[in-house]
Structure 1
Amino acid sequence: MKKLLLLLSMVMVFSLNAMTLPITGSVYDETGNPLPGVTIVEKGTTNGAQTDKSGKYSIQVNDTNSTLVFSFVGFQTEEIRVGKKQQINVILYADVQQLQEVVLQDASSSSLRKRLNATGAVSRAAGPSYMVGESNPFHNTESYDAIEENIFHKSADKPLSTFSIDVDAASYSNMRRFLHMGQLPPKDAVRIEEMINYFHYDYDGPKDDKPFAIHTAKTKAPWNEDHLLVKIGIQGKKLAMEQLPPSNIVFLLDVSGSMNAPNKLPLLISSLKMLTNELRPQDQVAIVVYAGAAGLVLPPTDGANKSAIIEALENLEAGGSTAGGAGIKLAYKVAKEHFVEGGNNRVILATDGDFNIGASSNGEMQRLIEEKREEGVFLTVLGFGMGNYKDSKMETLADKGNGNYAYIDNILEAKKVLVTEFGGTLFTIAKDVKIQVEFNPNVVQAYRLIGYENRKLNDEDFNDDKKDAGELGSGHTVTALYEIIPVGVKSNFTKEVDDLKYQSQTITGDTDELLTVKFRYKEPDENTSQLIEQPLANDSLFDEDENLNWAATVASFGMVLRDSEFKGNLTFSKILTMAHQSAGVDEFGYRAEFIKLVNIANRIQ
């Protein structure tokens, strides 16, 4: 009998030990916004979970003595003992010391106290506190090319508007990074066309053998009801995975000392591991790294051998100076030696952009990349980090390399760029895509292109097949907006000049068309462009177009962030109302996140 009782006791103890406790909760940042993608691990085990897009999580732990560890790139790690709690909600605080931000030396001054209250981004760790914007001891050397905002042009004087398409979206995620740190982004970091094109739009795909379909619509400009807003949308043909050509990819990875931060090399490695999982057996990957010198750490390896690729990534460590020029040369050499005819031959450069040794000038690298582009090897650029981020240099490299440019600020952005938009990021379906719009001066008094300031072309470039332009990837959408002042509307944005002495000012033609859109593009392996034309009717009808409404909302946000002279009566509060009304279908939660970003901007303005 005693033996039986002892046995039953042992079984009960074992059963109790084997039981697990369910814990649920949410994780927020210090501004009260939910944090998706936070890692939760039961300390001392491999048991883990991750917050969803609403910041919620669920995990089973061993017992009440368990400790949960909450970690996220750019935030201080929190450890919380479970105890008797069944729900654990956590606030993570920005770790600006960890992210190599600059020291706050005198928090007693009124200006710094004001900034402290605005950002809430001071480390709680022992030792000196850090805050964005100060200059000592870590100098903030981020650089952005100056943007001179597009102005209105009178259609009678300048009837043509010509630009290269842009599918980059780096400006949006970079802007998000600034807002999450509690400050508005620099004006020159806000490229409105990249903000607009961060989002997916529900355009119909091409119904013929063309690589894209064109969509136009018009409505009233939300910031000025006397003006029109015209949308030009392009939907690229989406290729199924089995239709995509084999890939010859070289990861060119910056492992210099400047990458030694949690939101740089560790995030880079996690991002490329996700991309590796998307590779097929017919794809091959090599890895070139550069720091004090450049080297090949993984020879071309087929996509079926994912473990070898991931192992090489996990073995990377940061240290040394930045031989960016030598790294690029070696990466192109490897790509060329293993070139796949008719395939996707591409270098993927992942860096904070801090090239400071070797062939470091934008001009020298630009010439090298242009040369390799003509040989069929394209370049995609992935940006990471903050403090010494070189946006201007990285955008130049991607533009000249027939590739796109993305800024990776967290693991969810990496998933968006490298998994969700895998085909569009890596597989070009049309190159040198240019748009030229001719405005009818009978009905259009003046117009301005919203954004695309660094993509403008001379009118004669449109027919010049030697002039480089943008690329379109599989399934990508591109959207451009024009603000139009109709004939008869009084405006302070147009200036009069004296009548010309030697030529006529007479305007001829009908009023049936508002404008005509012309497109030129080349097949990826062709050097001769093809032309498509599509007019937009001039009528009193306004389109009930959800795509246009959302694009107008995002453009409005960019205009206020840039403090545009054309923003009219726009405010962050008005944009919030517009966003709620136009959000529409939001499969991946990107539009809901946009609304949260507008809320943050409204609080810290």
Structure 2
Amino acid sequence: MRIACAILLFTLMFATASAQYYLRGEIRDEKGNVLSNAKLKLQSSNLLYYSGVKGAFGIVSSKETDSLFISLDGYQDLAIKVEAGRYHIISLKMLYSAAHLQRNKLVSLTRNMQPEERKKHLFSGETYSTLVENEFVQARKYPETGFAIHADRAAYSNIRRFLNMQTTVPPDAVRTEELLNYFNFDASPLARDSIFGFRSYISDCPWNAQHQLLYLNIASRKIDSSEIPPSNLVFLVDVSGSMDMPNRLPLLKSSFKLLVDNLRNTDTVSIVVYGSTVGVWLTPTSGADKAKIRKSIEELYPGGSTPGESGIRTAYRLAKSQFIKGGNNRVILATDGDFNVGQSSEDELEKLITQHQESGIYLTCLGVGMGNYKDSKLEVLAKKGNGNFAYLDNEHEAEKVLVHELTQTLFTVADDAYLNIRFNSSVVREYRLIGFDNKAKALADSLNEVEGGEVGPGHSLLVLFEIEPVRPAGSDAYPTDEPVANLSINFRKPNESLRRITEYQVEANYSGFTELPKCYQFATSVVMFASLLKQSKFSHQFGWNDVIIMADEAHRKGDYMQEEFISMVQKAKKIYGKMRKRKNKE
């Protein structure tokens, strides 16, 4: 009997010791959105687990009640007890800095205009669109406006693709400032040791005799090759099935091989892929070993789904592991943007990339493809990832972005840069910022603010305002002894937290339109072209022929890009002319 009891007791003890319990639940944020890839450490075993694509977890434990230690970049760490037999909904609180960074931010902002008034003022157009074109603003009531300074150019080459396909351009694909950014206009003079230079002109407005155009030219300092820091580059390449087309993965492979030719011995390159698998394709390799890097690029092949979220996380982890203090740490994402596994909406991707915004790692996005190209997703990723983005429609564009403009594309001289201008209401009655149009979603956010941009070395940014001057009764002139506006550029140097401000005065230095430097006349034709493509209400006073004539008279002979622009306008004229004829017949 004693033996039987001992055996029973031993059996019960063994069963208790070897019992397994299943701990289940999911990780969410305070708004109820699922959080994938959260790190979960089980107290009883010290083993690590991660939440799945939908935030869910299932963990086997030897204890019926156990403790989890949960962590995720951008969120407060949490220790919590979990019980078997219950499904736990666990909420993580966002860190203050991350919550601040995830606000909907504006490309441009008129100061002191209340959200409800701004909405009424800016949503008065005839149709709703993602981008809301800037309207005229009274200088006396709202003298101050600001906008992000950035060097993105993706809209231009994307528009070129549409026109080369003999199709119209979606109005929301037209970002006027990116068309102007495409041309590096004559740089403004820089003071010694200054990051930015500035020049301004005021001239006639070709489409409204009562108005004038204010040109602001902001140039960033060039850097000598000896000043370029070593680079830690992670190529994050989309190798999913959707990339299996000549203008996608093959174009990217040839593009990256062009970039490899410019690598130095001090640079390090890694490759992460996502498609049928997510992983490190090329471990960190010196820029001196170009043959090995080229071979890895050449062996890339497409297939599988598009787990972009996992690819991004892997690329940033690898970039952090090779982080160069004071260096150029950058992930270069190359994709058609068609994420379909994991976090894939713009909001989810914004939240994902914001977690890495203060890591010191920049993000460059290279878009390719047609049909399912997700321009809006790449724009969100680039802006929230402290970076820039370009669209590669052909090898010539790849050479422009990754060879001729390599330093502008992959290096930074100013972070979180934005320009603030305060108009003198005794000189200017009304003004309209041309381009820098905001997303409707950002305009609806009552807590919004201007989101600064990142600027590469040696870039010349041109900004245009259409202004209505204050004219004394019975006079065609306006005061020239007063400044038109005061301007300030706010920015941080890379790897610094200190904000810097450079201030300028915008003088009333009027020039007749034909007396302007040719590059500014050409820039005006670019603005008019963008306005026609956007089907803007401000484009009713001119047509395609006006743009062609102005660009032809102002362009620099032998300049390939400017001559190509004229051919693009001519193509647009034919395409939109045919569309108008069809509408008239109908």
Distance 1:416 1:455, change over 3 A: farther
Residue 465 of structure 2 is matched in structure 1 by 482
Kindly report which structure 2 residues correspond to 1:483-502, keeping only aligned pairs within 5 A, or say none. Answer: 483-488=466-471
Inter-partner Cα distance in structure 1 for 2:511 and 2:409 = 37
- Alpha-carbon shift at residue 365 of structure 1 (Å): 2.6
1:359 Cα offset (Å)? 2.2
Match of 2:485 among 506, 511, 515: 515
Supply the AA of the counterpart residue of 2:507. Answer: A
**Aligned residue type for 2:495:** D
Which of the residues 493, 514, 521 maps onto 1:549? Answer: 521
Is it true that 1:593 corresponds to 2:533 in the alignment?
no
Residue equivalent to 1:281: 265
Structure 2 distance, partners of 1:489, 1:583, is 36
1:205–1:586: structure 2 CA closer, same or farther, 3 Å change rule? Answer: farther
Distance in 1 (CA, whole Å) between partners of 2:360 and 2:521 is 38
Measured in 2, the distance between the counterparts of 1:363 and 1:489 equals 50
2:249 aligns with 265
Q: Would the aligned equivalents of 1:442 and 1:510 in 2 still touch at CA under 8 Å?
A: no
Within 2, Cα distance between the matches of 1:201 and 1:546?
A: 10
Q: What CA deviation, in whole Å up to 9, does each residue of 1:31-73 have, x standing for no partner?
A: xxxxxxxxxxxxxxxxxxxxxxxxxxxxxxxxxxxxxxxxxxx
Q: Which residue of 2 aligns with 1:324?
A: 308
String of CA shifts for 1:113-151, please: whole Å, max 9, x gaps: xxxxxxxxxxxxxxxxxxxxxxxxxxxxxxx97111110
- Structure 1: runs of 5 or more not aligned: 1-143, 491-508
Task: Determine if the alignment matches structure 1 residue 560 to structure 2 residue 544.
Answer: no
How far apart are the structure 1 equivalents of 2:528 and 2:412? Answer: 30
Percent of residue pairs identical: 43
Distance 1:362 1:604, change over 3 A: closer
- Is residue 163–residue 456 contact of structure 1 (8 Å, CA) maintained in 2? no
Pairs within 5 Å for 1:64-463: 146-454=130-438
Is contact 1:378–1:402 with CA below 8 Å preserved after alignment? yes
User: Aligned partner of 1:382: which letter?
Assistant: L
Question: Contact conserved, 1:163 with 1:457, CA < 8 A, in 2?
Answer: no
Residue 510 of structure 1, CA deviation: 9.8
In the aligned structure 2, how far is the partner of 1:472 from the partner of 1:313?
Answer: 28
Unaligned runs of 5+ in 2: 1-127, 474-478, 577-586
Deviation of 1:585 after TM superposition, in Å, equals: 5.8
What amino acid sits opposite 1:532 in the alignment? Answer: T
Quote how far apart the aligned CAs of 1:370 are.
2.5
Distance 1:157 1:267, change over 3 A: same
* C-alpha deviation, 1:369, in angstroms: 2.1
The equivalent position to 2:554 in structure 1, one of 582, 594, 599, is: 582
User: What TM-score comes out, normalization by structure 2 length?
Assistant: 0.72
Partner of 1:494: none
Question: Equivalents in 1 of 2:494, 2:163: separation in Å?
Answer: 38
CA distance in 2, matches of 1:595, 1:328: 39
- Tell me if 1:571 matches 2:555: no
Q: Secondary structure at the match of 1:365?
A: helix
Amino acid at match of 1:602: K
Distance between the aligned counterparts of 1:510 and 1:416, measured in 2? 42
Alpha-carbon distance, 1:551 to partner: 1.3
Equivalent residue letter for 1:149: E
- The one-character-per-residue Cα deviations of 1:531-581 (angstroms, maximum 9, x if unpaired) are 122122235544622232121110010011111111242111111110011
Distance 2:289 2:522 in 1: 42
Partners of 1:455 and 1:341 lie apart in 2 by 35
* Aligned residue number for residue 58 of structure 2: none
Q: Distance in 2 between matches of 1:598 and 1:251?
A: 35
Matched residue, 2:574? 603
Task: Give the letter aligned to residue 211 of structure 1.
Answer: I
Among 435, 444, 456, the alignment partner of 1:473 is 456
Conserved in 1, the CA contact under 8 Å of 2:233 and 2:319? Answer: yes
**Equivalent of 1:534 in 504, 509, 523:** 504
Q: Is the 1:442–1:511 contact (alpha carbons within 8 Å) kept by the matching residues of 2?
A: no
Contact 2:130 2:439 in 1 (8 A): no
Paired with 2:472 and 2:523, the residues of 1 have a C-alpha distance of 24
Q: Counterpart amino acid of 1:313?
A: I
8 Å Cα contact 2:480-2:508 kept in structure 1: no
1:245 offset after TM fit, Å? 0.3
**Aligned equivalents of 1:364, 1:318: Cα separation in 2:** 25
Q: Which residue of 1 aligns with 2:18?
A: none
After superposition, the Cα gap between the structure-2 partners of 1:419 and 1:457, relative to the gap in structure 1 and judged at 3 Å, is farther
CA distance in 1, matches of 2:210, 2:457: 38
- Cα gap change, 1:591/1:541 in structure 2, threshold over 3 Å: closer, same or farther? closer
Q: Secondary structure at the match of 2:285?
A: strand
- Structure 1 residues 361 and 511: CA distance shift in structure 2, 3 A: same
Q: Which amino acid aligns with 1:430?
A: A
- Cα distance in 2, alignment partners of residues 195 and 180 from structure 1: 16
Deviations 1:428-474 (A, max 9, x none): 00111111111111121110100101389999x9xx9x974101101
After TM superposition, list the pairs within 5 Å mapping 1:2-13 onto structure 2. none
Q: Output the CA distance in 1 between the equivalents of 2:329 and 2:439.
A: 25
**Secondary structure of residue in 1 paired with 2:532:** helix
Q: Is the 8 A contact 2:188 2:460 kept in 1?
A: no
Residues 225 and 467 (structure 1), Cα distance of their counterparts in 2 relative to 1, 3 Å cut: closer
CA contact (8 A) 1:224 1:568 kept: no
Mapped partners of 2:304, 2:493: distance in 1: 42
Deviation, structure 1 residue 513: 1.4
Q: CA, structure 1 residues 547+457, in 2 after alignment: closer, same or farther (shift >3 Å)?
A: farther
User: In the TM superposition, what is the alpha-carbon distance from 1:529 to its structure 2 partner?
Assistant: 1.2
Q: Give deviations 1:236-284, integer Å, cap 9, x for gaps.
A: 1111222200000000000001111110000010101101111111001
SS at match of 1:599: helix
Report the CA distance between 1:212 and its aligned residue. 1.7
1-structure distance, mates of 2:367, 2:307: 17
Compute the displacement of 1:215 (Å): 1.5
SS of 1:342's equivalent?
Answer: coil
CA shift, 1:488, in A, is: 4.2
Deviation at 1:487, TM superposition (A): 2.0
Q: Give SS of 2:339's match.
A: coil
Give the AA of the match of 2:508.
Answer: N
One-letter code aligned to 1:520: N
Decide whether aligned partners of structure 1 residues 153 and 291 sit closer, same or farther in structure 2, where only a CA change above 3 A counts: same
Give the match's secondary structure for 1:373: coil
The answer (yes or no) to whether the contact 1:220–1:229 under 8 Å persists in 2 is: yes
Contact 1:206 1:213 in 2 (8 A): yes
Quick check: 1:162–1:457 contact (8 Å CA) kept in 2?
no
What secondary structure does 1:374 align onto?
Answer: coil
Conserved 8 A contact 1:271-1:414:
yes
Structure 1 residues 264, 482: closer, same or farther in 2, change over 3 A?
Answer: same
Moved more, 200-209 or 151-160: 200-209
SS at match of 2:538: coil
Aligned-pair RMSD on alpha carbons? 2.4
Q: Deviations over 1:196-233 (max 9, x none)?
A: 11011111442311212112112111221221111111
